[in-house]
Structure 1
Amino acid sequence: MAAGAGRARRREAVMSTHIRKNAPAAAAGKPRLTTSAMIASIAAEGQRTKPAPFGHALVALARENERVLGMTADLGKYTDLHIFAQAFPERFHQMGMAEQLLFGAASGLASEGFMPFATTYAVFASRRAYDFIHQTIAEENRNVKIVCALPGLTSGYGPSHQAAEDLALFRAMPNMVVIDPCDAHEIEQVVPAMARHDGPAYMRLLRGQVPLVLDEYGYTFELGKAKLLRDGPDALVISSGLMTMRALEAADLLRKDKVEVAVLHVPTIKPLDEAAIVAAARKTGRPVIVAENHTVIGGLGEAVAATLLRAGVAPAAFHQIGLPDAFLDAGALPTLHDRYGISAEKVAGSIKAWSDGGAGGAA
C-alpha cells in the first residue's frame, strides 16, 4: 500500500469511528451519522452521479494529445488519477508525499513541452506548496494544470484537510486561471478546456461518485464565462462549484413557497465574467446573494462585491452564503453543511428570509 493511501485510510477509519461515537444526533437518540469524513459523497440519496469524471476525461484527452502527463503526490486513487495511471502507465508519475517536488517537477516537464496535470489535495497545493507554484509555475507562466480534491467543506477531517481559503490564494497569483466546477458534466468539459488554455490553471476537483446536475440545463462550459441557469424576480444567486447545485436545489424548494430565484453559475473565478455579473445584478428589486463553498474572505463573494462597486451597481441588498472566517469543525458532512449553512435547506431558508426583506449584510 502506498504511504499516502495508507495514511488516508488510517485517518478515515479513526474519523469515521469518532463520528459514530460522538455525533450529537446519536446522543439524542437519532440515527447515527456514519458518513466517511474523507471521501463522503456530496450527492443526495438517489441523485444521479457519474464515477470519476476527471480521471476518464483526462484519459480521453491523453488519447488525443501525447504531451499530456498525469502526476500526483501519493494520492492517485484519491484524486481519480489512478484511472489515468492504468491507461497510460508510461505517462504517469508518482512523486510520493512531496508536494513541493511534485510542482517543481511539473514545471520542469512543462518547460520541455509536456502538459502535466498535477493532482493532490487542495490544502496541500494552496498551503504546503504555494511558493513552489508561485515561483516555478505562475511566474514562469508554465503550462501546468493543477487539479485538487477536497475543496472547501468536502472533507470532515477538520482544518488540516479543509481547503476553505484556496480560491483566495490562487486568485491572488498572477497568470493563474481559477476554476470551480459544479458537477461531473462540467468537469468533463473543463479538462479539455484547461488543455486548450496555454498557461497555468487551477481546478477544484469533485471526485468519486460526482453528481450530475447541469446536463439538465443544456449547459456548456466556456472558460471565463458565467451562465444564467434559471431566472426569477425574487432573488439572484451568484454561485460556483457545488454551491450552484445547492442553489438550484434551494430554488426548487422555494418555488413551493412561490419564491422564484435566479441562479447565475460562475465556474471561472479568474478571469471573472464581470459583464454577466453586472448585467444580472442590474435587474432591480431583488437581493444579490453570492453562494460559495469557501471562506467569505477573498473568494467569489468579495470578487462579485468589488465588481458591482466598480460598475456602480447597487442591488436591493447584498448577502454572502459561505464558510465563516474560522477553523471549521470535524465531523460528518451532512452535519457540517447544516451547521455552516451550505445545505440546500439552509440555503433556501437564508434566501427566503432575505427575499422577504431581511437586513443586508453577509451571512
Structure 2
Amino acid sequence: MAEVKKIATRDSYGNALKELGAIHEDLVVFDADLAGATKTGTFKKAFPERHFDCGIAESNMIAVAAGVSTMGLVPFASSFAMFAAGRAFEQVRNSIGYPHLNVKIGATHGGISVGEDGASHQCCEDFALMRSIPGMVVMSPSDDVEAKAMVKAAYEHQGPVYMRFGRAAVPVIHDEATFKFEIGKGEVLRDGTDVAIMANGLMVAEALQAAETLAADGINAMVINLGTIKPLDEELVLKAAQTCGKVVTCEEHSVIGGLGEAVCGLLSEKLPTPVRRIGVNDEFGHSGPAGALLKQFGLCADHIVEVVKDFQ
C-alpha cells in the first residue's frame, strides 16, 4: 500500500496565498513577526511589496488590516491562533466584526498539536471566541486540499473570516481534481446508519480511521467533515442525526464553545438527539510531543472507537 501523503495545513495556507496573489493584485498579507511559522513567508517571497510585517503586535496588526480593507484591498492577517483570536480579540470584535469589514484572519498553530510550545500557545478556545462575534465565519480544514480551497473561498467571501490551520502534518484525504468547497457546507465522507461522527481539522482523518475499526466490529459509522463551524450546515447535521439516532462530535478544541456545542445547540432545539463530545475537557494542555499529547487528551481514532462503543 502506498504511503499516505501528509501536509501541514499551515503550509497549504502559505501556498494558497501565493497562488491567489498571482491572480488578485488586491490581496495583501499582514503578519506579526511569524512569517516563517505561519508560512506567509511563501507569499512574501513572491510578492514582497504586498507583505507587511507588523512585528509582535497582533492587536495593531488587526487594526491595520481593518483600515486597509476600507481602501478596496483584501487583507489576510496572520499569527498563531492564541494571538490572532486571543490577544487581539477586542480589535477583531470592534474593528472588524462590528463594522463587518472584509478582513480574513489566518490563524496557525491552533490546538494541542502545537506540542512542545505548551499551554500558553495551545489555543483551544479560538472557535468559541470567534463564533461569538456576529457575522464572523469560522472554519478549520481537514487537509491540504480543503485548506487551499478554503482560503480561496475566504477571499471570494464578502465579510470577516477566521480560519484555523495546524502545525502538524495531516493525511491528505481529498482528491483535488474533484473536491468542491463551499462556506457553510459539510460533506459526508462515509455513509453509515449506527452513529454519525462529525469532525473538523485533524480529527477528520482520525474519525475515518475509527470508522474503519468500528466497521470490523459490526458498527456502521457515518463520517461527516464540518470544515465550517459557523455558519453550521444545519441541514446536513439534522439529516445525519435523523438517520443515525446518535452523534459523536470530534474537535481539537475545548468541548466548551466549539463544534460540539454548535451541534448540540442545533439538535436540542430542532431534533433532540443523544450526543457525545470529544475534545479538550475544560483543562489546559502542557508541553510534549504532538502525537503523544493528542493521544493523552483523547484526540485520536482509538478514543473515538471507545466512545462510540460505549455509546451503543
1:214 and 1:348 mapped to 2: Cα distance? 23
Contact 2:198 2:225 in 1 (8 A): yes
Contact 2:207 2:301 in 1 (8 A): yes
Q: 1:224 aligns with which of 178, 181, 184?
A: 184
State the one-letter code of the partner of 2:229.
Answer: I
- Cα offset for 1:210? 4.5
Kindly report the root-mean-square deviation, in angstroms, between the aligned alpha carbons of the 2 structures. Answer: 1.8
2:148 and 2:6 mapped to 1: Cα distance? 13
Distance 1:207 1:162, change over 3 A: closer
Q: 1:90 aligns with which of 8, 28, 49?
A: 49
Q: How does 1:219-298 map to 2 (within 5 A)?
A: 219-284=179-244, 286-298=245-257
- Cα offset for 1:118? 0.8
- Cα offset for 1:208? 6.8
1:264 and 1:121 mapped to 2: Cα distance? 27
1:77 and 1:259 mapped to 2: Cα distance? 44
Larger radius of gyration, structure 1 or 2?
A: 1
Structure 2 residue 302 is matched with structure 1 residue 319:
no
Contact 2:248 2:277 in 1 (8 A): yes
Q: How does 1:316-355 map to 2 (within 5 A)?
A: 317-354=274-311
State the one-letter code of the partner of 1:74.
Answer: D
Give the SS at the match of 1:259: coil
Distance 1:208 1:307, change over 3 A: closer
Distance 1:210 1:237, change over 3 A: closer
1:137 and 1:216 mapped to 2: Cα distance? 32
Distance 1:129 1:216, change over 3 A: closer
1:80 and 1:181 mapped to 2: Cα distance? 16
- Cα offset for 1:207? 4.5
Contact 2:197 2:221 in 1 (8 A): yes
Distance 1:50 1:334, change over 3 A: closer
State the one-letter code of the partner of 1:169.
Answer: L
Q: 1:56 aligns with which of 15, 18, 29?
A: 15
Aligned residue pairs total: 308
Give the SS at the match of 1:154: helix
- Cα offset for 1:115? 0.6
TM-score by length of 2: 0.94
1:99 aligned residue: 58
Q: How does 1:7-46 map to 2 (within 5 A)?
A: 46=3
- Cα offset for 1:57? 1.1
1:217 and 1:240 mapped to 2: Cα distance? 21
1:117 and 1:217 mapped to 2: Cα distance? 26
Distance 1:325 1:234, change over 3 A: same
Contact 2:145 2:176 in 1 (8 A): no
Contact 2:113 2:294 in 1 (8 A): no
2:169 and 2:138 mapped to 1: Cα distance? 23
Contact 1:54 1:207 in 2 (8 A): no
5+ residue gaps, structure 2, are none
1:34 aligned residue: none
252-261 vs 334-343, which deviates more? 252-261
Structure 2 residue 33 is matched with structure 1 residue 110:
no
- Cα offset for 1:278? 0.7
1:137 and 1:75 mapped to 2: Cα distance? 21
- Cα offset for 1:281? 0.5
Contact 1:53 1:207 in 2 (8 A): no
Give the SS at the match of 1:294: strand
123-132 vs 211-220, which deviates more? 211-220
TM-score by length of 1: 0.81
Contact 2:251 2:278 in 1 (8 A): yes
2:109 and 2:154 mapped to 1: Cα distance? 19
- Cα offset for 1:62? 1.1
Give the SS at the match of 2:279: strand
- Cα offset for 1:53? 1.4
2:280 and 2:27 mapped to 1: Cα distance? 35
Structure 2 residue 141 is matched with structure 1 residue 184:
no
Q: 1:169 aligns with which of 100, 110, 129?
A: 129
